[in-house]
Each structure stands twice: as C-alpha cells, then as structure tokens.
Amino acid sequence: MINHLLKIFQKGQFVLYVQILEKVFFFALLLVLARGYSVREYGDIVLIFSVSNILLYVLQFGLPVVFQRQTAKDNRVNKSSLMSAIVYGLSSYVLSTFLLLLIVSQLYNNHQYLLIIIMHSFVFSYFFISVFNSFLLGKGEQRIQFYSYLIARGISIVVILGLLFFLTDVMFFMSVCLAGNISIVLLLYYYLFSRHTEKSEKSQVSFVSLKYLLVMSLPVGIAAMSNFLYDKIDIIIISKILDIEKAAYYNVAYGIFKASQLLFSFLLVTGFSRVSLLSKRKYAVKLFLKKYSVYVLLISTAIAVIILLFSKSILLFIYGDKYMSSVLILQLLSFAVIPLALNNLTGITLNGLGMFRENMIVVLSALLINVVFNVILLNSFGIIGAVYSTLITEMFILVFDLYYLKKKLW
C-alpha cells in the first residue's frame, strides 16, 4: 500500500508543487499590497479581484474539467477544441472586461480604468492557463506546468521585491504579475502545440463543437460557482446574523480548514484523469474508488488529528494571539476534514464518469442546505452553529455522491 501511495504521489507531485507555489505567491502579493497601501486602497484592490474572479467563474463554464476528461478519455489533444476554447476565451475576456468596468465604476465609483483592466487581465489569464493545463493533465503532463510557474513566479517575485523600496505602485506590481501569467500562457501554448497536437490536423474553430462543449460543461460551471459561493456565503450570513468580529474569527479557522485540502487534492487532480480513462469499465472505476478511498481516508484522518491537537499552536504561529477565539472553531472544523476529503474524491469520480448533471444537483442542493442551516443554527448556537452547518453540508455531499455512484456502478 505504501509503495502504491508513493507511486501516486510521484505522479501528482508537480501538481502539489504548483499549488504550493501559487499559495506562496498570492500570500506574498496580498501581503505586499496590504502593507503598502491604505485600508481603502487595499479594499478597492480586493473588490476588483473578487468581482473579476466571479466573472471568470461564470464565463469559464467548467470547460477545463470537460477538456481534461475528454483528453484523458481519448488520449489525444483535440486541436479543434483547443482553438475553439482560445477564441471563446478571448471573446469572454472582452465581454467580462466591459462588465467589470461597468460594475466597478457605476456601483463603487471607481474610475481607475487602466488599473482595473490590468488587474482583470491578470485574473482572466487564468482562463487560458487552466484550459491549457487541463489538456496537459489529460495527457499526464505535469512537469512543464511546474517549470512554467516556477520561472514566471520566480522572476515576478525577484522584480517586485527588488524594486519594492524604490517603486510602490500597485499598477506596476499588477503589470509584473500579468507579464508572469502571460509568459505561463505562452509556454504552455507552445508546449501543447509542439508536443501534443498532430501537424496534419487542421486548426479550425468549430462553433458547433464549442456550443456542444459549453452545453456539456454548463453543469460543471454551475457546480463550480456553487462551490465558490458555499465557501464565501458563510461569512456574509455570520456578519449579518451575529457581527463582523465573529465572522473574522470563523473566516480564519475556515481558511485553515480549507487549506488542508492542499495535502490530498493533488492526488485527486491526477486521479480525475485516471477515472476518466477508466470510465467505460465499471469494475476498474470501482477498484480505483476503493483504493483512493483508503489513501484519502488515511491522509485526511492524519490532518484532522493534527488540526484537533495543534489548533492553538497553528493559529498562534500564523495569526498571533488576537485570534485565539478561533481555536475552538478550528478544533470542531477538524471533524469535517474527513467528509470534505472523501466528497472531493466522490466528486471527481462523478465528473470522471461524465455525471456532470448529478454532481451539479448535489453541490447546488448543498449550497441551499448550508444557507438554511446557517440561518437556523447561528440563531440557536451562535458562531458554533456555522461549524455544525459545515459538517452537515459536507456529510450531505458525501452521502448523495455515494448514492449516485452506487446507482451507476453497482
């Protein structure tokens, strides 16, 4: 078992390295911006990031998931799908830029148009990065992604830190970050076309094919958006029913709880390609599910125990003693780590089998259940009610994912 787990880790190690690199990069970027600018300026920056990310989630439609499954299942990169995705991405970028400028200028009276465009370009470049990555992951290619990120992020960090004391301009920082993302896009694009496409295959844009892909990926997009809202809506509800301070305590604990996904999610990224390849063979998928369940259960149990026993030390180290009120919240959230990990596994298995609609139904229902239980339990138990709501929601997702998988496989 240990040897097999190590082999799986070796296959997914570069995905883990990319995730760690991105976490460190964004932590450093936001820290520089938070320390270098006023609260109002930083608030404007966070607002632009938030609205831009929502537009990205909406317009991305879940296409990366569909492309990864398609590539893994067929064991080839479809050049027509790739070109159609690029054309769609460019069109979506123009539309989303216009919408962002309209929203931020009209609703928030922010008229820094050039800064807004640069920041949105940085965010929306992840559409192309995630699409190109999905094709590469479908082919089992990970190393090139890590090296692309490493080069781009390394240069960006060196430039920003090197000039930090001479030039503290948010437009400069974001331009450097945008240049880094563009370099990642170009490297991945070049690698895809030079290594994984047939030269004889025509690079034509098929709008019929794109329409089919968008319709097929719509449930994935709705599920991704529901997941995004599920992660954010707790804070809004807590701040309205209780107060902002309680929301801050919960947000700190919840952030650590969700960050624990990093220690098992990299296995599931490569696992998704695997189950997509095996999707026509029920027995093989069942075997995959049983093996990965054991691995995910072992890792998540270890994480849960560590969080339960060392919550105070973790919070002190990261946030200092002013967030000691988050200790009990984090300890209770540790019990949700195991169902969180297992429903991540069942979720990628549903998507790998092409059961996008079923996954959407579960995630959308979970969002509604989370809202209802938060409203009820926060009024009854205070901030701990939000923890109970999270645990109930994660269990709900796991149970109904298993229900759909049982109907499909057994």
Domain ranges of the chain: 2-205, 219-409
Q: What is the pLDDT of residue 167?
A: 58
Of 54-63, 340-349, 379-388, the least confident:
54-63
* Cα separations in angstroms, 196 against 79, 193, 313, 388: 9, 6, 47, 47
Q: Average pLDDT, stretch 281-290?
A: 92
The tokens for 203 are 């690079």
pLDDT score of 163? 64
Rounded Cα–Cα distance for residues 102 and 95 (Å): 11
The stretches of 243-326 forming alpha helices (DSSP H) are: 244-259, 262-277, 282-319
What 8-state DSSP symbol labels residue 380? H
User: Looking at residue 2, what is its pLDDT?
Assistant: 63
Residue 141 has pLDDT above 80, yes or no: yes
What's the pLDDT band for 9 if we cut at 50, 70, 90? low
Average pLDDT over residues 318-338: 89
User: Residues 6 or more apart from 404 whose CB is under 8 A from it?
Assistant: 350, 355, 358, 359, 362
Three-state SS at 110: coil
pLDDT at 43 over 80: no
Residue that wins the pLDDT comparison between 200 and 80: 80
How far is the CA of 276 from the CAs of 5, 68, 225, 358, in angstroms? Answer: 20, 8, 22, 16
Q: What percent of the chain has pLDDT over 90?
A: 39
DSSP string, 49-99: HHHHHHHHHHHHTTHHHHHHHHHHHHTS--HHHHHHHHHHHHHHHHHHHHH
- Write the DSSP assignment of 29-58 as a string of letters: HHHHHHHHS-HHHHHHHHHHHHHHHHHHHH
Within 13 A of 313's CA, how many CA atoms are on the CB side? 5
Interval 127-144 mean pLDDT = 89
How high does pLDDT run on average in the chain?
86
> Which of 87, 59, 81, 64 shows the shortest CA–CA distance to 209?
81
pLDDT in tens, 179-230: 999 999 999 999 988 888 776 666 666 677 777 778 888 888 888 888 878 8
User: What one-character DSSP code corresponds to residue 167?
Assistant: -
Provide mean pLDDT across the span 351-370: 93
Instruction: With a cut of 70, say whether residue 61 has pLDDT above it.
Output: yes
* Residue 51's pLDDT band (cuts 50, 70, 90): confident
